[in-house]
Structure 1
Amino acid sequence: MHTTLGATLPLPSTSYKYTVLDQDLSAALQEFGNNLKISVNISAEVKGRIRGRIPELSPREFLDRLTDLYDLQWYYDGVVLYVSAAKEAQTRMLVLSSVHFSAFKLALDKLDISDERYPVRPAPGNGLVLVSGPPRFIALIEQTLNGLLAVAQAQPRATDTPARESVMVLFRGSSTTVVRGGRPEVFYTSEMLPENDDGGKAELSKK
C-alpha cells in the first residue's frame, strides 16, 4: 500500500518488463521515463550501476526498488519526475508571518504539492513551519508561502479612523462650561456674556 502523494504519477498498473544486466543508474531511470512517456529530471548526484536481474514489478514498485537500493528520493510535481540522492534532502524552517498554518496547508493540498513522505510540521504557537524533503519539493513549498505572503501584503489594510472629538456644554445655574475632548475649555457666567446691540446678553453660539 502506497502513501498518499501530491500530484499523481501517471504509471500503469501492468508489470514493467525491463532487463538490466549492467547499466548506469541514471541511464536506467531515464529509460524508465522514456518507456512510460514521463519527463524525468535526474540529479548529477544520482550515481551507481545496476547489476544483476531485477524481478518483474509494476512501474511504481520498480521505481521504489531503485530508490531503496541506491538511497534515492523522488518527487513528481505534476509535470516532471525529479530523482535526487537522499543526501541532497533539505530542511527549512519557514516563518509564516501573517499567513495561518491552516491556510498554508490547504494551499499545498489544493496545488497537489503535499506528500506524506515529506511532512510539513508546524511549531506550536510561534508561526514557524519545519519542512524536509528533496530539493524540488522544498522549492515548491517556499514558492507557495511566498505567493501567500504577497497576496496578504497586497490586501488593503483598514486605516485607523480618527476618533470624533466629543463636545459637551454643561449648564449649572447661571454658568456654562464647554468641555471638548474631556477637557473644560471655556467657562461662562451670565455676567461674562457680552451685551448685544439691544443691551441684552448675547447667547452662546454653537459651531
Structure 2
Amino acid sequence: MLARSTIVHILERIFCAGVFVCIGIMRSSAASLSLPSAPYSYTVLDQDLPAALQEFGNNLNIRVNVSAEVKGRIRGRMPDLPPREFLDRLTNLYNLQWYYDGLVLYISAAHEAQSRLIVLNPISFDAFTSALDALNISDERYIVKPAPGEGLILASGPPRFVALVDQTLKGLVAEAQARRGPVAAERPQRESVLMLFRGSSSTVLRDGRPEGSPETPHHEGTLRETGPGQK
C-alpha cells in the first residue's frame, strides 16, 4: 500500500502535469453515491426511460448524464423502493450500467462497456490499485486486474470508469517520469499500446491514438485486427 505522504505527492504531481481536465474531477472521485434510505415513490403510466432517469436525479439533487444509447419506456407503476434499489432495479430491467464519479451519475447501456489492456510500465500493479483506492475510483462491480504479459492490466466497466482508470495511470506515469530527472527524460519514451474491445471487435491504440490514424507513426510489425480468413 502507498504511504499517505506518497499518495499526497502523487496527487500534487498529477495536478502539475495537467493530466486531469480540472480539479473538480480529482476531488469528485473521492466521493461515493450517498442516497437517502426513505422509499422513492415514483408513479408513471408511460414515460421515456432517459427522462425518468433525469427526473430521478433532479428529485435527489444529483447531476445525471444519460447516454444516448439508453433507450426504452417505463410503463406502469414502479414499487416504492429506496433510491439505490430503485436505480438498481431500472439497471437490471433495462440492461444498464451506472457509475458515480462524485460529481455526476453516469448511466450507460451495458453494450457500451469497455475492456482495455493497459501497459503499466513503469508503474507497479500494487501502486496503481492503491492510487485507485485512494481516489475512490475503484468499484467492486467493475474489473481492474493483472493480465497475461509483462506489465499489463485489464480494465473493464462503463466508459466513465475506464476513462478515470486511464487518467489515473497517466498521472502516475507523469509523476514517475518527473522523478527520473532530465537525463532520463532525454531517453526515447516507451510507446504506450492499448487494445480497446467493443463486443466482437477490437482496436489497437498507440500513445492514445487509434492505429492507422494520420497522426499515428507507422511501425513495422504492428499488431492489427485479424479479419475473417486471416492469421
After superposition, the C-alpha distances for 1:63-107 in whole angstroms (9 at most, x for unaligned) are 000000000000000000000000000000000011011110000
How many angstroms apart in 2 are the aligned matches of 1:120 and 1:57? 31
What are the residue-to-residue correspondences of 1:1-207 with 2, within 5 Å?
Answer: 7-123=31-147, 126-157=150-181
Q: TM-score, normalising length from structure 2?
A: 0.64
Q: Point out 4+ residue stretches in structure 1 off by more than 2 angstroms.
A: 156-159
SS of match in other structure, 2:180: coil
Give the paired residue count. Answer: 155
Match of 2:27 in 1: none
How many angstroms apart in 1 are the aligned matches of 2:137 and 2:50? 25
How many angstroms apart in 2 are the aligned matches of 1:153 and 1:121? 24
Equivalent residue letter for 2:133: D
Deviation, 1:158, is 10
SS of match in other structure, 1:33: helix
Equivalent residue letter for 2:108: S
Deviation, 1:125, is 6.2
After superposition, the C-alpha distances for 1:3-33 in whole angstroms (9 at most, x for unaligned) are xxx7411210110011111100000000000
**Runs of at least 5 residues in structure 2 that lack an aligned partner in the other structure:** 1-29, 184-231
**Runs of at least 5 residues in structure 1 that lack an aligned partner in the other structure:** 1-5, 160-207
**Relative contact order, higher structure (CA 8 A, sep 6+):** 2
How many angstroms apart in 2 are the aligned matches of 1:20 and 1:7? 31
- Quickly say closer, same or farther: Cα 1:34–1:158, change in 2 above 3 A: closer
Q: How much is the aligned-residue C-alpha RMSD, in angstroms? A: 1.7
Match of 2:15 in 1: none
More helix by proportion, 1 or 2? Answer: 2
Larger radius of gyration: 1
Asked if structure 1 preserves the Cα contact closer than 8 Å seen for 2:63 and 2:103, the reply is yes
More strand by proportion, 1 or 2? Answer: 1
Q: TM-score, normalising length from structure 1?
A: 0.72
Asked if structure 2 preserves the Cα contact closer than 8 Å seen for 1:7 and 1:113, the reply is no
Deviation, 1:156, is 3.1
Identity in percent = 70
How many angstroms apart in 2 are the aligned matches of 1:76 and 1:158? 39
SS of match in other structure, 1:156: helix
